[in-house]
Amino acid sequence: MKLCTLSITLLSALALAGSAAAQSEILWDQSDLDPNASGIANSISPGFGGFTIYAVADIVVTDAGWNVDSITQYYSSWNQDWLFAITEGSLHVFPKTGPLPVDDPVASVTVPMTAAMNDPDVIEVTASELNLDLAPGEYWIGITPAAPAGLFGANLQWPTLAMTGDPVAVYDTALPGWNNLYGAVDGAILIEGSRPTPVEETSWGQIKHLYR
């Protein structure tokens, strides 16, 4: 019985010593909002004054790659129905090969999303539990929530002060094709997750040393 217990204990110690717990951290931060730049149309919003327009920002995945857990974008708040209306939307992840994407955003996967208001002028829209592995490189990435237009149309994505790389790229389904309609403006986005790191293999001798 003691031998069995010791074996289980040793196996558990080996597993713990040979793995690293992933800690959530900020991987990409363009969340400083620019109140003076143009709001960006980026939602699937049917109804009067509505539209279906997709938008993505360019990012650079560094280190050994990323495991993306969540993506948050920031929207105006005049249509507060979004706080309970948003349940899903499109997730866009395209390799970056030039100043505009080439992939079809209409074919992007649909993922669950939530909305919350942490500021009177800002609705945060988040896609979480993504478990998205990205190899090092450049990407176009973003989310497009599905939410109806209201009396004043659809909420617009806030632009960012922390622009990096190329401006935001947008795709209007009424005039299919990617464009740079906003000049030197990029969308506000926050990406969180973990950076996988190589783990040194633990030897049997190191494990036995724990029990001396």
Residue pointed to by tokens 């938008």: 55
The pLDDT of residue 47 = 83
> Residue 159 in contact with residue 40, Cβ under 8 Å?
yes
Which 3 state secondary structure label does DSSP give 206?
helix
Residue 110 has what pLDDT?
Answer: 98
Residue with token string 């401006």: 167
Read off the tokens for 46. 């049917």
pLDDT value for 22: 55
1 touches 9 (CB < 8 A): no
Distance, in Å, from the CA atom of 57 to the CA atom of 143, rounded to the nearest integer, reads 10
DSSP assignments along 97-143, one per residue: -SSS--S-GGGSEEEE-EEEEEETTEEEEEE----EEE-SEEEEEEE
Structure confidence at residue 6 (pLDDT) = 31
CB 161 within 8 A of CB 74: no
Predicted local distance difference test score (pLDDT) of residue 118? 87
Q: Is 89 helix (H, G, I), strand (E, B) or coil?
A: strand
Query: Backbone dihedral region of 47: left (phi > 0), alpha (psi from -120 to 50 degrees) or beta?
Result: left
Give the single-character DSSP code of 38: P
pLDDT score, position 10 = 31
Q: Residue 150: what pLDDT?
A: 85
- Regions of the chain where pLDDT drops below 50: 1-21, 200-212
- pLDDT per residue over 147-194, tens digit each? 999 888 899 999 999 999 999 999 999 999 999 999 999 999 999 999
Q: How far apart are CA 141 and CA 153, in angstroms?
A: 25
Query: Can you give the residue ranges of every domain in the chain?
Result: 1-20+201-212, 22-196
d(CA 113, CA 5): 45
